[in-house]
Amino acid sequence: MRALLAGSALAVLAVAAFAAFAATGLAAETVSIQGSMPNGGCGPVQPVSTAGPSRIVVHVSATAAENGPPATGPVYTQILNSSGGVLASGPTAYNATSGGTYGVRVCSTANPENTSMLQYNGDIAVLPPATLVSAATGKAGIRHGAAIAWFTVNAKDGHVIMRVDDALHKVHLGASTGLKATLSVNRAVISGHGMTLVVTGHGVQQRVAFHSPSYSVSGLVVRNGITIA
């Protein structure tokens, strides 16, 4: 089994933090989360209170096998209304259109490769609606044949660093100057020195495409992930 990064939206233990962040309109706040869910089921519903329209974005690392349906992946999130009805299933981010109480839970796709109970942990950010994206950071791995190609990104405060490592194919590329980052919700494009890296989506739905004169590869993220916020 491998740790898998899955995008989801769920409550943190200190639920009051959600209302505070949404009401004040502060920059993204990050809080750690952890819990468990059954193989092929969902963890407990956790309430999230918002004072107004908000955008909830969470990355979660879970002990789950990497295969799963394209619509949800092996680990996904269900977002519920105050009555328990499912508003969305599988998203990596959710736009709450009004203040109130939402229910969120982390779920997994049934897989005989997994144990009966799966553990997850990660972090959550609650953002004001239409928040400007100002950073892309993290390390994501995608499959390239029998190898994992790794992409490391640190783009914030006007400075951009990028590395590409594929040990099996003896590829090690990168730059810490001369790069440009174009950021938007769920999308980051980094270019320079003849290289272009495009990251779209979050969590199990995140995809990476990289092109240079000597090396090109693309695919869904299967290890870790790059946070765009």
Residue 177 has pLDDT above 90, yes or no: yes
| d(C-alpha 133, C-alpha 163), whole Å | 21
72 and 20 together in one domain? yes
Q: What is the per-residue pLDDT across 25-52, written as a single tens digit (0 to 9) for each?
A: 444 455 667 889 999 998 888 777 777 7
40 and 149 together in one domain? no
| d(C-alpha 139, C-alpha 161), whole Å | 12
What residue type is assigned to position 42 of the chain?
A: C
Q: Using alpha carbons, list the distances in angstroms from residue 1 to 49, 118, 180.
A: 34, 11, 36
Q: What is the per-residue pLDDT across 50-96, written as a single tens digit (0 to 9) for each?
A: 777 887 776 667 787 766 665 566 788 777 888 988 877 776 677 77
177 and 221 together in one domain? yes
| d(C-alpha 35, C-alpha 197), whole Å | 33
Residue 12 has pLDDT above 80, yes or no: no
- Mean per-residue pLDDT for 217-229? 87
31 and 115 together in one domain? yes
105 and 191 together in one domain? no
54 and 112 together in one domain? yes
| d(C-alpha 26, C-alpha 199), whole Å | 26
Residue 18's pLDDT band (boundaries 50, 70, 90)? very low
Q: What is the per-residue pLDDT across 185-219, written as a single tens digit (0 to 9) for each?
A: 778 999 999 999 999 886 557 889 999 999 999 99
Tokens 């290890």 sit on residue? 223
144 and 121 together in one domain? no
Domain-ending residue, one of 106, 127, 148: 127
Which domain, by its residues, includes 117?
A: 2-127
177 and 107 together in one domain? no
| d(C-alpha 102, C-alpha 59), whole Å | 18
37 and 116 together in one domain? yes
Domain-ending residue, one of 80, 98, 127: 127
Q: What DSSP state is assigned to residue 158? A: T
Structure confidence at residue 23 (pLDDT): 38
- Mean per-residue pLDDT for 98-120? 85
122 and 157 together in one domain? no
| d(C-alpha 21, C-alpha 19), whole Å | 6
96 and 145 together in one domain? no
Q: How many domains does the chain divide into? A: 2
Residue 11 has pLDDT above 90, yes or no: no
173 and 114 together in one domain? no
Coil, strand, or helix at residue 25?
Answer: coil
Q: What is the per-residue pLDDT across 129-175, written as a single tens digit (0 to 9) for each?
A: 766 678 899 899 999 999 999 999 999 888 999 999 999 999 999 99
CATH number where 118 lies? 2.60.120.380
Domain-ending residue, one of 71, 98, 127: 127
